[in-house]
Amino acid sequence: MYARPPVTGLEVDSETRCRHYHSEIDRIAIRFHCCGEYFPCFECHAAVGCGNASVWPKERFDEKAVLCGACGTELSIREYLDCVSSCPHCAAAFNPGCNLHKHLYFEV
């Protein structure tokens, strides 16, 4: 059986929601380019992460860096950016508002 990667943050639940983002559709975690660790959001990374935030460069968008909190599937950045706010594997809804923060994670 495949083990889900650990997600570090503040008050992280079983679907990767955290203290900062905890609505029903807040269910992704992002593997940060700087440290390779999964966090639910940029605020959790700022609070307990490596302190050296950097964004994923476009030439690495085929790497797995987004975790669906519903099914545990790791998505490539490209899959995530193209998915229209739902997991392409289990169809769980993702928060479309996350698009407002993509510049904090990915080169735009």
pLDDT in tens, 35-92: 999 999 999 999 999 999 999 999 999 999 999 999 999 999 999 999 999 999 999 9
**How does residue 3 score in pLDDT terms, banded at 50, 70 and 90?**
confident
Per the structure block, which two tokens stand in for 61?
A: 């968008």
Phi, then psi, of 44 in degrees rounded to 5: -65, -40
Q: Is 7 a domain residue?
A: no
Q: Is 4 a domain residue?
A: no
pLDDT tens digits for 4-31?
A: 899 999 999 999 999 999 999 999 999 9
Q: Where are the beta strands (DSSP E) in 40-86?
A: 64-68, 74-76
Q: Is 53 a domain residue?
A: yes
Q: Is 16 a domain residue?
A: no
**Sheet containing 28-31: order of strands:** 38-39, 28-31, 64-68, 74-76
Q: How many domains, the chain?
A: 1
**Domain residue limits at 36:** 28-104
* Beta-carbon contacts of residue 24 (< 8 Å; ≥ 6 apart): 93
Give the predicted TM-score (pTM) of the model: 0.95
Q: What pLDDT does residue 2 have?
A: 65
Q: Is 6 a domain residue?
A: no
